[in-house]
Structure 1
Amino acid sequence: MAETNNFHNDDVVLDIHDRPTLGHWIGLSVQHMFAMFGSTVLVPILVGLNPGIALFSSGVGTLIYILITRGKIPAYMGSSFSFIVPMVALMKTTGYPGIAQGTVAVGLVYLLVALLVSFIGSDWINKLLPPIVVGPIVMVIGLSLAGTAATDATMRTLASGTTTYDWRYFMVALVTLLVTIGFNMFLKGFISLIPILLGIIVGYLLAVVVGIVDFSGVMAAAWFSLPKFQIPFLTYHLHFYWGAVLSLAPIAFVTMTEHTGHIMVLNKLTKRNFFEDPGLNHTLAGDGMASVIAGFVGGPPVTSYGENIGVLAITKVHSVYVLAGAGVFAIIFSFIGKLSALIQSIPSPVIGGISFLLFGTIAANGLRVLIDEKVDFNRKKNLMVASSILVIGIGNAYLQISQYKFSGLAVATVLGIFLNLVLPEKAVSEKEFEQKH
């Protein structure tokens, strides 16, 4: 696999098309997979999906992405956090089928946008999703789950189905939070890229000590078993859920902005221009097809991972062969039954402690978008757009028409885009003020 322009980045250990020796290949690929492992399996844990399916769809999605982008972009596809809010709601109402259909719809939106980009370019994406829309939506994604994190961190479910406050839960959650922050702040090198995974391990061990871990599922699980795939017509009767589709599909436009941001960073890191070669249409198509495949096997939507960029920057290993190897190992790990059972045995306070940091970080990133882009909140339009998105999204003011239900996040996304397009840049009072002064 040769470079079309013969360019080779000599400042890195392995450039994009450099193939490592077999021993190095295995070690580097396993290392890369574990950098993604904590975040990739955390999404299905939070939603209630099978971690094995998430690992499988993550690995297959990565291989598909590399194939569609012609082996030119070193990227890894992992479970997306942006869809957690509506997926949690759908799990309670439609279960796997609704989430699967929504995930496929997300992928189809990506493919449609990729088709449009190939014909008319990508400038319209920035007009449709400027910072004043994207920033508050990202904040909603994090803040709307704050109550879930707090419940996981404090409340124990009794055999009767009722819940009660348990101080051990809160202690485990706080320790998990604090050690994860510590790992994130003070560790160096590659290990600094897996603070979530390390935090979960420490929290889990503490939970074992205080006696709140149930190992019965782990003991009963087989070492090797098929992930519990959820395939239409084979494992469940197909019933179309419009509400599920319309709850997840609009959020695809938000993750597209993250996707393009990741490509920009990769351009600088690898000294290339992936917007030109293989083109944004190919990168979006790769991401979209990965989500379509994930939906057909019962996994959550997948997207390019920021952790991936951190690993590339620190290790200076940019080889797509290493990324493909990470995808293969993710697939292999998905067939280890005891691993999936061990992941599912992680008690809620450990997840709650991680969620305190994770959801807060997501919200803070939304705020950072507004700050970095210097959004002026003296402008009434910006104030109106952000205010509407925040309250509707965080409050989950969902829209229900007959049996179709659209999450507050989906409503806030569509409303934010609409308001930004129709409201004038300046209100009448602002124009009058400027004319007088």
Structure 2
Amino acid sequence: MEASNQVKKSHLTIGVNDPIPLGQAILLGLQHVLAMDVYVVPFIIATAVSMSPGDASSLIQSTFLGAGIASLIQVLFFLKIPVCQGPSFVPVGAIIGIYLGGNGMSTVLGASLIGAIAITILGYTGIYKYIVRTFIPTIVSGTIIMIVGLTLLPSAFSGNIFIETAELTMNQNVLLASITAAILILFSMLGEYFPKLGKVFRISSVIIALVLGSTIAFAMGGMDFASVSEASFLSLPNFAFIDYGFTFDLSAIVTMLIIYMVLLAETTGTWYAVSSVTEETLSDEQINKGVIGEGFGCLIASLVGATPVTGYSTNAGIISITGVASKVVFVAASCWFIILSFFGKLSALINAVPAAVIDGVFVVVCAIIMLSGFRVIKNESFSERELYIIGVPIIIALGLIFMPAELKGQAPQFIQYLLDSPIAVSAIMAVVMNKVIPEPKKV
């Protein structure tokens, strides 16, 4: 038994509860912050609703603050596994629709606040663990994780790699992303093949890739530090209870409640992915506490003016790449988020890293996320039933990604909210198909 356990955990260089030097934890925490790319969600929302530069910057800072506090809540008090909270991609489309159709951020935050309270109550009553058992078994959670990784890949390519910027051509962006991804894989594999010499390379592979990629971008003339020089050293985000207020609109609340249930399915899948990577058992009680932590995290996010947060599958990918699963690293990452929310210069410096460099890392991490989903379901029996439960949601997710805007625009507004979230729709489909398709009779 002892030997089998050693083989089981041999892929980790630092375990979940293993000690780690503070300086190393701080560096590795920053590595998670950089790879999570949390400013993408507020950036998409701010651009779509035409926020002023000041409001857009404040939304990004609020997002950092909400992510930091929510992560500390989960890691230290509730879920207690190595995972960071960040803004979910699931409600982005719905948030944009609510913003434009209501009273701006106050309507979004009001609906988010009610949804967070509902999720917290769901956790405290203990109902969610029965929902997980009934509606989100391993086959469903693994499928959702696979879809998260799969659906994020196209945005990385079309939004940041296959583009031209003022500083870099499309060819240069493709080259930058390719070089950064290759560096990440190289240093990660050095740790795999040369355990003693390469351990430090594997642990720091993400941040090495980002630094070297940024250095190459600078040599190409693709690093613009103007925003860093113009940014205030210290600045405050816009807090909901001070700068926005809360507006409670029934249709917005109902929409957000549905989104929150899908978000819970997504984050539960992430927890299973992290559990699989770290090979730590995730109990029903732990999941229920995680739901309470998720509710508190989303509640804090809405109060500080940020959108709903969720556990990031990216962390599972980075743990798999680096072999470092220490919770101390995730506490450090949470503190980095909080620091960045008040230090405009640091936030601007991170934002100055070319998108192609970040997405060179991001596409590798997305692939790891997708395969982490497969790792979750690999021990399931793959009859024709399971193939459809996995395959049809993937088809729907890809179909929604490539759905023409004019076709989507013909749907009622409420449906458009959901169609803008391929992860949400495909997650719902995975749950429905698992319940509708009967299991074959055992002979």
**Distance of 2:206 and 2:96 partners within structure 1:** 24
Closer/same/farther in 2, CA of residues 88 and 353 from structure 1, 3 Å limit: farther
- Alpha-carbon shift at residue 362 of structure 1 (Å): 1.9
Deviations 1:209-243 (A, max 9, x none): 111222211110122222x3352662477474354
Kindly state the Cα deviation for residue 341 of structure 1 after the two structures are TM-superposed. 0.9
Residues in 2 aligned to 1:17 and 1:383: alpha-carbon distance in whole angstroms: 39
For residue 380 of structure 2, what is the amino acid of its counterpart?
A: K
2:139 is matched with 132
1:197 aligned residue: 207
Tell me the CA shift for residue 403 of structure 1.
4.9
Q: Secondary structure of 1:424's match?
A: coil
For 1:259-338, list aligned pairs within 5 A.
259=271, 262=274, 268=280, 275=283, 279-297=286-304, 298-299=306-307, 301-303=309-311, 305-306=315-316, 327-338=334-345
Aligned counterparts of 1:32 and 1:267: Cα–Cα separation in 2: 20
Alignment match of 1:250 (pick from 253, 262, 268):
262
| 2:390 is the alignment partner of 1:376 | no
Partner of 1:340 in structure 2? 347
Match of 2:136, as an amino acid?
Answer: L
Partner of 1:367: 374
Q: Which runs of 5+ in 2 are unaligned?
A: 1-13, 45-58, 192-197
Q: Residues 215 and 307 from structure 1, CA distance in 2 versus in 1: closer, same or farther, beyond 3 angstroms?
A: same
The match for 1:5 is none
Query: Percent same amino acid at aligned positions?
Result: 20
Q: Deviations over 1:329-384 (max 9, x none)?
A: 542343221111112222222233223212222222223333x223314x2x2233
Query: Normalising to structure 1: TM-score of the pair?
Result: 0.72
Shift of 1:208: 1.4
Higher mean displacement: 103-112 or 304-313: 304-313
Aligned match of 1:6: none
1:389 aligns with 393
- Equivalent-residue separation in structure 1 for 2:339 and 2:272 (angstroms): 30
Distance in 2 between the 1:134 and 1:63 partners?
24
Deviation digits for residues 287-311 of structure 1 (CA, Å, limit 9, x no counterpart): 3312321233215514275479789
1:38 equivalent in alignment to 2:43: no
Task: Answer yes or no: is the 8 Å Cα contact 1:176–1:203 preserved in 2.
Answer: yes
Which position in structure 2 is the counterpart of 1:166?
170
Partner of 1:153: 161
- 1:178-211 deviation digits (Å, cap 9, x = unpaired): 1111222224446533433332222222111111
Contact conserved, 1:334 with 1:340, CA < 8 A, in 2?
yes
Which runs of 5 or more structure 1 residues have no equivalent in the other structure? 1-12
Deviation at 1:55, TM superposition (A): 3.2
Alignment of 1:187-226 (within 5 A): 187=191, 188-189=198-199, 192-226=202-236
- 8 Å Cα contact 1:111-1:288 kept in structure 2: yes
Match of 2:92 in 1: 87
Distance 2:334 2:83 in 1: 8
Q: Displacement, 1:247?
A: 3.9
Q: Does 1:65 align with 2:74?
A: yes
Q: Map residues 343-358 of structure 1 onto 2, 5 A cutoff.
A: 343-358=350-365
Which of 1 and 2 has greater Rg?
Answer: 1
Say if 1:102 and 1:215 are closer, same or farther in 2 by CA, change over 3 A.
farther
Alpha-carbon distance between aligned partners in 2 of 1:59 and 1:181, rounded to the nearest angstrom: 28
Q: Does the C-alpha gap of structure 1 residues 415 and 126 become closer, same or farther in structure 2, counting only changes over 3 Å? A: same
- The answer to which structure has the higher helix fraction is 2
Aligned length: 390
Q: Distance in 2 between matches of 1:15 and 1:137?
A: 24
Question: Is the aligned partner of 1:420 residue 2:434?
Answer: yes
Write the deviation string for residues 59-109 of structure 1: whole angstroms up to 9, x where unpaired. Answer: 32234336644xx946553326xx335537855884883875676577456
Structure 2 CA distance for aligned equivalents of residues 295 and 386 of structure 1: 33
Please report the RMSD computed on the Cα atoms of aligned residues, expressed in angstroms: 4.2
Change (3 A) 1:200 1:330: same
Instruction: Label 1:219 to 1:89 Cα distance change in 2 as closer, same or farther (>3 A).
Output: farther
TM-score (normalised: structure 2) = 0.72
Letter in 1 for 2:309: P
Cα distance change, pair 248–361 in 1 and its aligned pair in 2 (3 A): farther
CA contact (8 A) 1:190 1:314 kept: no
Q: Which amino acid aligns with 1:259?
A: W
CA displacement at 1:174 relative to structure 2 = 0.9
Distance 2:23 2:225 in 1: 30
Q: What residue number does 2:43 align with?
A: 48
Choose 135-144 or 88-97, whichever is displaced more: 88-97
1:265–1:147 distance in 2 versus 1, CA, 3 Å: closer
Q: In the alignment, is the contact (CA less than 8 A) between 1:54 and 1:300 conserved in 2?
A: no
Distance 1:28 1:178, change over 3 A: closer
